[in-house]
Structure 1
Amino acid sequence: GVPVTPDGAAVPTVGMLRLTAAHLAATGRRFGAVTRNRAIADALAGRIEDYGLTAWFAGVTVLDLDFEAIADTRRWNRAVRDALDDFAARGVTAVINGCSAVDTDAPHPVELVDPAACALRLLAAGARS
């Protein structure tokens, strides 16, 4: 069911993509995203549009990697690094990792944002205030 407050009011549920994308937009950052395949890319881009954040969104780069590539760290990191290079050339400063379950070690000037980690930091910050 829907979580409720002690007085019975519904507690709004906000997903990690929405929190992350809204945070990037609110801080004035032009952002993109990377995903493993087209289906994930289309769903992610649709959500960004639903959230009304397309003015800050530079689109999704599809890595076109098969499932086996998840275990191939060098191949995965190379594909991510290439995508980040392309985003950097277009003035993008942050890229949401639509495949955040995969460990990525691709140091780059463009920040690769793990939406789960970002959402948890934002929620923790809100709890402290």
Structure 2
Amino acid sequence: MAESSPTVEKSEEEWRAVLSPEQFNILREKGTEPRGTGHYDKFYEEGVYNCAGCGTPLYKSTAKFDSGCGWPAFYEGFPGAINRSPDPDGRRTEITCAACDGHLGHVFKWEGLKVPTDERHCVNSVSIKFSPAP
């Protein structure tokens, strides 16, 4: 997927004003919530998961699955909504919101999971906000 420039740009102070301290740590400082503690880990209602920073739709609930990893897992996002870039150490691939560059988590490939893409988007619950289907 081609990298795109963020379309939602805010200063650090503006992000701090609209995000909780935990959201700021994860979305803007690339933190990680503790394994198994996120609200959406075992959450399976029908709807859409949006970026908690800017509201951009990222994942359909139909792409969510139980990977047992301790974080919400999705096998694909909306086209063009998620950017990928290698972590500085080259061991993992970070995923970020294409609109605001908020840190979502990491994507893992070729784990042999029984999902259509053989990918696991391991996403922090704090990075997303669920909107139920109408």
Is the pair's TM-score, using the shorter chain for normalization, greater than 0.5? no
Higher helix proportion, which one? 1
Larger-gyration structure (1/2): 1
- TM superposition score normalised by structure 1: 0.28
Higher strand proportion, which one? 2
